[in-house]
């Protein structure tokens, strides 16, 4: 049976996964990062950040997500990340260097497409449905 | 005129800081996931110390869609008096689906309206957390798994702002309540068990509020 449900706003029917390197995020402002994430997620993509967001950026991400939710399209995000590495987080050198971000792999996707997102210490597992 | 305005400003700043201790109540935000019992707790605190309530409690998620404030609540414990403004916030979440409201027998228009209010309320609560609160009471339903992404993120945000925080393990009247699991999840913070509904262990809650936010 041929699939005829192509949604019109994108050629692909699969799920696109964007793996964004820490390097690519490094030069961006908080709002640029959030925009990049939400643009991807609103297109139906799964966004994986090599090095996650700072707490401040996470709180802004929630705030902006809330302001963009609308009943006919976007119902928000699912997000999971590995816990902050305690050792590197509190290292004296890290603090001296004013380093806030430690590597923290983060997975973000559209809430209406992620059927489940589970995590344990070392594994994040996402079950995704097509658009 | 510029100089005068500046002078006036700095004079009022000095007087403000001189009297800061007694006159300015601390703004304490009650945060936590939906249905943890935040409003039940806010109402109990307000009733115990002022005589009236803050807002309706409900099993419908997002019943508290806009933050509600109860100002100048004076709590006295062990000779210590603290003045706080209690801000009851909507439960923090990363998603709101209006169809959840339809499940609670609502018309579509009403469901859409409520979900819009809910998202605005959460956005506002997040904004305040960055700008406008002096301390946080983080309420968890002790029958639920505390290791969620939202809890971890929120506690991380609170810590990064260096706000004093008390973790409350609520609903201890229920058999499934697991207080240990809550204190294991956030060992760096004080966890206080309570039943906001039954009023169990409120003495300790007030003692810790006076200690942490006084
Ligand atoms: N058994 C029990 N139920 C509670 C307790 N605190 C709140 N609840 C119930 O949990 C539901 C959600 O409470 P509410 O205060 O509205 O939660 P909020 O969404 O965090 O503001 C309501 O049905 C409350 O009656 C408690 O200590 N024990
Ligand atoms: Mg409430």
Name the residue in chain A with its Cα closest to that of B111: A71
**In this prediction, what percent of chain B has a pLDDT beyond 90?**
59
> Which chain A residues contact residue B97 at CB under 8 A?
75-76, 111-112
Residue A5 domain-assigned (yes or no):
no
B161 chain-A contacts, CB cut-off 8 A: 55
* pLDDT at A1 > cutoff 50: no
If you ran DSSP here, which 8-state letter would residue A121 be given? S
A59 within some domain: yes
Q: Dump pLDDT digits (tens) for B51-62.
A: 777 777 777 777
- Residue B197 CA to ligand 1 centre (angstroms): 7
Binning pLDDT at 50, 70 and 90, where does residue B80 land? Answer: confident
Among candidates A58, A77, A83 on the partner chain, residue whose Cβ is nearest the Cβ of B95? A77
The pLDDT tens digits of the residues spanning B117-145 come to: 889 999 999 999 998 899 999 999 999 99
pLDDT band of A11, cuts 50, 70, 90: low
| Domain CATH for A25 | 3.30.110
Q: What average pLDDT score do residues A72-87 get?
A: 79
Classify residue A29: in a domain, yes or no. yes
Q: Inform me whether the pLDDT recorded for B72 exceeds 90.
A: no
pLDDT (mean) for B104-115: 86
The CATH number of B24-213 is 3.40.50.300
pLDDT of residue B22: 54
Kindly report which listed range (B3-17, B94-108, B174-188, B198-212) carries the lowest average pLDDT score: B3-17
Ligand 1 pocket test: which of B29, B31, B38, B40 has the largest number of ligand atoms within 8 Å of its C-beta? B40
The reported pLDDT for the residue numbered B6 is 60
pLDDT over 80 (residue A31)? yes
**Full residue range of the structural domain in which residue A65 is found:** 15-84+95-128
Mutate one of A71, A81, A85 to test the B interface: name it (highest B CB count within 10 A): A71
Pocket of ligand 1 contains residue B195 by CB under 6 Å = yes
Going from N- to C-terminal start, the domains of chain B cover 24-213
Collect all residues with Cβ–Cβ distance below 8 Å to A84 and sequence separation of at least 6. Answer: A102, A104, B156
% of chain B residues with pLDDT over 70: 89
Whether residue A54 and residue B160 make contact (CB cut-off 8 A), yes or no, is: yes
* Ligand 1 in reach of B35 Cβ (< 6 A): yes
Given an 8 Å threshold on Cβ–Cβ distance, is A66 in contact with B152? no
In Å, how far from its chain's centre is CA A104?
11
Chain B residue nearest residue A82, CA to CA? B149
What is the least distance, in Å, from the CA of A81 to any CA of chain B? Answer: 7
List the single residue in A with minimal CA-CA distance to B92.
A62
Query: Per-residue pLDDT averaged across A17-21, rounded?
Result: 94
Predicted local distance difference test score (pLDDT) of residue A10: 52
B133–A contact, CB cutoff 8 A: no
* Nearest protein CA to atom 8 of ligand 1, as residue: B37
Length of chain A: 131
CB within 8 Å: A67 and B129: no
SS3 A8: coil
More confident residue, A93 or B205: B205
> Is the distance from CB of B207 to CB of B78 less than 8 angstroms?
yes
Residue from B149, B151, B154 to probe the interface with A (highest A Cβ count within 10 Å):
B149
Ligand 1 pocket, B170 CB below 6 A?
yes
Whether residue A8 lies inside any domain: the answer is no
Number of structural domains (chain A) is: 1
Q: Closest Cα partner for B212 from B170, B158, B173, B171?
A: B158
- Is A27 a member of any domain? yes
Average pLDDT of the segment spanning A23-29: 93
Q: Does any ligand 1 atom lie closer than 6 A to the CB of residue B210?
A: no
How far is residue B2's CA from residue B9's CA, in Å, rounded to a whole number?
11
| pLDDT higher than threshold 90 for residue A36 | yes
């Amino acid at each position: 049976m041929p699939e005829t449900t192509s949604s019109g706003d994108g050629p692909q029917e699969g799920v696109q996964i964007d793996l964004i390197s820490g390097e690519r995020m490094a030069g961006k402002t908080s709002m640029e990062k959030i925009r990049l994430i939400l643009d991807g997620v609103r297109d139906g993509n799964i966004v994986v950040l090599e090095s996650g967001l700072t707490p401040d950026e996470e709180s802004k991400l929630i705030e902006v997500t809330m302001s963009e939710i609308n009943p006919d399209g976007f119902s928000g995000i699912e997000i999971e990340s590995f816990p902050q590495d305690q050792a590197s987080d509190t290292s004296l050198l890290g603090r001296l260097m004013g380093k806030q971000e430690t590597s923290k792999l983060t997975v973000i996707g559209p809430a209406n497409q992620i059927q489940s997102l589970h995590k344990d210490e070392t594994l994040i597992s996402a079950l995704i449905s097509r658009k | 005129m510029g100089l005068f305005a500046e002078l006036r400003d700095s004079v009022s700043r000095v007087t403000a800081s001189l009297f800061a201790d007694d006159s300015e109540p601390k703004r304490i935000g009650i945060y936590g996931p939906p249905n943890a019992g935040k409003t039940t707790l806010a109402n109990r605190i307000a009733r115990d110390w002022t005589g009236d309530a803050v807002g309706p409690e409900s099993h419908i998620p997002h019943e508290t869609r806009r933050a509600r404030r109860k100002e100048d609540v004076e709590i006295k414990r062990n000779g210590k008096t603290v003045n706080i403004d209690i801000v009851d916030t909507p439960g923090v979440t990363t998603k709101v689906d209006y169809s959840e409201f339809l499940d609670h027998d609502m018309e579509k228009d009403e469901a859409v309206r409520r979900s819009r209010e809910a998202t605005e309320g959460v956005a506002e609560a997040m904004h305040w957390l960055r700008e406008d609160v002096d301390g946080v009471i983080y309420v968890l339903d002790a029958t639920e798994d505390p290791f969620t992404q939202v809890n971890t993120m929120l506690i991380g945000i609170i810590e990064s702002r260096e706000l004093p925080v008390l973790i409350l393990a609520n609903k201890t009247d229920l058999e499934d309540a697991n207080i240990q699991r809550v204190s294991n999840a956030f060992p760096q913070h004080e966890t206080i068990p309570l039943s906001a509904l039954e009023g169990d262990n409120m003495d300790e809650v007030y003692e810790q509020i006076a200690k942490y936010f006084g």
